[in-house]
């Protein structure tokens, strides 16, 4: 019995050695033929492509986050300006429309006098975070004459 086992173990080892030798010869042949180097190059190229894609995705996420922060800042500025116009206790100023884009405030609406228009612009300019004010406020024609 022991002879059979030793014989089958020896055969298994011999077969494994032959397989390893054959695989080594195949790999060496592929190496010599440039197939392994080509596959290595493809792998490197794929890695570089994936790295570039990851960087572009990260940049897109950063831009989206920046846009969302800017939008939130603009909305906060608009709310602050509108609150200040309402606090002025002038119905005409409280009725003005306020829009903000990149910290630039735009005022729209109609008032009865130039001093009231100037007051609205001054109120908007004093709000925290405002970089400038565009006044599209119309003054009633009868107030100008």
Per-residue pLDDT tens for 46-100? 677 767 777 887 787 878 778 778 888 889 999 999 999 999 999 999 999 999 9
Question: What percent of the chain has a predicted confidence (pLDDT) above 90?
Answer: 43
Task: Say which DSSP state 89 is in.
Answer: T
CATH 3.30.300 correct for 34-144? yes
Q: Mean pLDDT, to the nearest integer, of 30-40?
A: 60
- pLDDT above 80 (res 138): yes
pLDDT at 1: 46
- pLDDT above 60 (res 6): no
**Where are the domains positioned within the chain?**
34-144
Dihedral over alpha carbons 13, 16, 21, 23 (to 10 degrees) = -170
- pLDDT above 90 (res 127): yes
pLDDT at 108: 96
pLDDT at 96: 96
Which residue bears the tokens 């107030």? 143
pLDDT at 119: 96
Task: Say which DSSP state 129 is in.
Answer: T
Residue 92 makes CB contacts below 8 A (sequence gap 6+) with 109, 110, 111, 112, 116
């Amino acid at each position: 019995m022991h002879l059979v086992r030793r014989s089958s173990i020896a055969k298994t080892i011999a077969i494994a050695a032959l397989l390893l030798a054959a695989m080594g010869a195949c790999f060496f042949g592929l190496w010599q033929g440039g197939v392994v180097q080509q596959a290595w190059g493809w792998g490197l190229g794929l890695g570089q492509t994936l790295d570039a894609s990851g960087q572009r995705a990260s940049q897109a996420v950063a831009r989206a986050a920046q846009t969302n922060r800017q939008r939130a800042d603009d909305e906060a500025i608009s709310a602050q300006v509108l609150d200040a116009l309402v606090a002025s206790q002038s119905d005409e100023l409280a009725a003005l429309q306020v829009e903000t884009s990149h910290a630039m405030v735009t005022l729209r609406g109609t008032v009865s006098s130039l001093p009231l228009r100037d007051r609205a612009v001054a109120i908007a300019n004093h709000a925290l975070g405002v970089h400038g004010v565009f006044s599209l406020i119309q003054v009633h024609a009868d107030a100008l004459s």
